Amino acid sequence: MQSYFIRKSFLLFVFAFLTNISLATAQAKPSEHVILISIDGFRPNFYLEEKWPAPNLQTMAKEGARSLGVTGVFPSVTYPSHTTVITGFPPAKHGIYYNAPFEPEGQTGKWYWESELIQVPTLWDAVREAGMKSASFLWPVSVNAPIDYNIPEYWSLENGGRIEPMRDMETPKGLMAEMELQVLGKMNERTFNGDYLNREDRTGEMAAYVLETYKPNLTNIHLIAADHFQHSEGRDGTMVYKSIAAIDRAIGKIMEAAERAGIADKTTFIITGDHGFVNTHSSISPNIWLVEAGLMEDSKDRGNWKAAFHTSGASAFLHLKDPNDQESAKQVEKILANLPANIKKLFRVVDREELDKIGADPNAVLALAPIQGISFSSSTSGNILKPANGGTHGYFPDFDEIETGFIAWGAGIRENVEIQEMGLVDVAPVVKYLLNLPIDLPESNLYPGIKK
């Protein structure tokens, strides 16, 4: 009998010990639910200036932590930037160098869609390793990602359709149909269309429904309207103002879902972006120089080519058919050096050393970074200098207008903290801290001033 009581006492001790460890672990996690929202084309002035119709964003910025500017990656375009947000690494390490990969036999129109192309661990991997759940809506490079509730950004190369391709790639199967029945109504190319603000409403409703119903620990949302209308109208177009209002409304839907689910006090919102925007007036077509020099042909597959510029946003990156072809590389450098002074002053050459320093595509020989107002075009014929309008991004991230924004608000975040400057690589550590994730982020910083 005495042996029985000893064994029972020992088991009770072990149970109490493990329970205390479990409680301590839970207490070490400052937040139970992190909502990571990317606003494509997100500029800090959207929440720093009251003229923008964004009451939710502005309230969160005032009450939580906010940055005056976030330095992005090169090129400052959507897919490399979003992958930096979800990994904490620059493109040279994570492997998503542009929106669309450079294809030696000519561009087919495909983008970096599949998560298998990411070469480092992601926050999604860490969430799964920690035994938690994740959700994602229209996040770039998320096809086949280890996400429990996933509607990835993906479209058809044949007709540009998005609804059925997204449905084909969803996780779990039937998620889109469930949301259509419960909250969205039937989705089609008319009711979910980037040319109209109804897309932001439906993206917000998707995230709100899954948050309230399944309560994932990490939710990613990608909202695109601000980017779409800044491309067509520039930084201050009428539809840009309306798009910010629609984005803010979508975020409000998610905030209300957290309230309805009874988890608002255990939830943190992180709002960030991928790049700022620059108004453009003219574009340069550098591949015309290569065609004239016989280094490539004016054809879709580049013909019998030796060197080609791959444009990404405003910038252009030089690729060689044979990476060891130093003769062609030197020929391109000579072409650039001998350009007329009035053209040379419109851009600068970013050499391999500087590309390594900023963490850009390791396969590019050099890059061309234009001044503000100028962009590079992939055109292989016509005038070298052509008119352009609207706005764009992709610039070297060394000036204010191309910076993106950052807000953190809610559980685990100190009130009224201003961060003068941070990097896009520094977003992932905030998520790691909030959810206590098992992921190594050696190239980024968690600023302790934002921790509650």
Q: Which domains does the chain have, with CATH numbers?
A: 30-277+398-450 (3.40.720.10), 282-388 (3.30.1360)
* ∠ CA 311-397-425, rounded to 5°: 105
255 HSE (CA, 13 A, CB side) = 17
Q: In which band, very low, low, confident or very high, does the pLDDT at 40 lie, cut at 50, 70 and 90?
A: very high
Residue type, position 190, single letter: R
The whole-model pTM stands at 0.93
Of the candidates 207, 257, 268, 269, the residue with the CA atom closest to the CA atom of residue 32? 268
Structure tokens at 139: 């996040």
Using a 10 angstrom Cβ sphere, with 0-12 exposed, 13-18 middle and 19 or more buried, the burial of residue 300 is exposed
pLDDT for 179:
98
Q: In which band, very low, low, confident or very high, does the pLDDT at 22 lie, cut at 50, 70 and 90?
A: very low
pLDDT for 375:
98
Residue 66 Cα distances to 22, 72, 337, 443, angstroms: 33, 16, 43, 21
* pLDDT of 16 above 90: no
What does the radius of gyration of the chain's CA atoms come to, in whole angstroms?
A: 24
Phi/psi class of residue 382: alpha, beta or left (left: φ > 0; alpha: ψ in -120 to 50)? left
Q: In which band, very low, low, confident or very high, does the pLDDT at 15 lie, cut at 50, 70 and 90?
A: very low
Angle between helices 238-260 and 55-63 (to 10 degrees): 60
* pLDDT of 182 above 90: yes
Mean pLDDT rounded to a whole number for the chain: 94
